[in-house]
Amino acid sequence: MDASAKNRLISVTLDENSIGRGSADQEHERAIAVYDLIEDNSFALVGQDVGPYALNISLVDAKLVFDIRDQNGGGVVTHILSLTPFKRILKDYFLICESYFAAIRTATPSRIEAIDMGRRGLHNEGAQLLAERLKGKIDTDADTARRLFTLITALHWKG
């Protein structure tokens, strides 16, 4: 199996016991985020060569838990990330998303575009922070880090 086929996620599940079910809108956003992530990703465990991988995500004590398994379900490694470093970015991201959705109804196209550029900038900042926090544990490309950050936002989105 070549590296591109091995260094990827083949499934992503969310632990309903720790994350809980969301509203219909939340569940829709989560499903889209998972679909996009599985469709196109680059995900390699540093020092491991047992991919492709299955990822189960849970939340424990304000920490993001990545339970990574091989394609047969065998446990490979668990990484725990504090969400504290993401608090400001998530707060700012949701505020700008609210502004964006409000602007869509009444603002000029140039105003909507300016807000959307700010939203994308925060999204990139969150993805970069995630990649930094995973450094030395999980190698991802920028697009995969963005998709993982999208999933993190979908876990916290209030709708």
pLDDT, one tens digit per residue, over 31-78 is 888 999 999 999 999 998 888 999 999 888 889 999 999 999 999 999
- The pLDDT, as a whole number, for residue 157 is 60
* Alpha-carbon separation of residue 159 from 97, 109, 127, 132, 155 (angstroms): 10, 24, 21, 28, 11
159: confidence class by pLDDT, cuts 50, 70, 90: very low
| Proportion of the chain above pLDDT 70, given as a percent | 95
Where do we find the tokens 């700012």? 92
Sign of CA dihedral 121, 123, 126, 128: negative
143: confidence class by pLDDT, cuts 50, 70, 90: very high
94 has a pLDDT exceeding 80: yes
| Proportion of the chain above pLDDT 90, given as a percent | 60
**35/135 Cα distance (integer angstroms):** 24
Helix (H) or strand (E) holding 69: strand 63-70
**67/9 Cα distance (integer angstroms):** 12
- The pLDDT, as a whole number, for residue 100 is 86
- The pLDDT, as a whole number, for residue 78 is 95
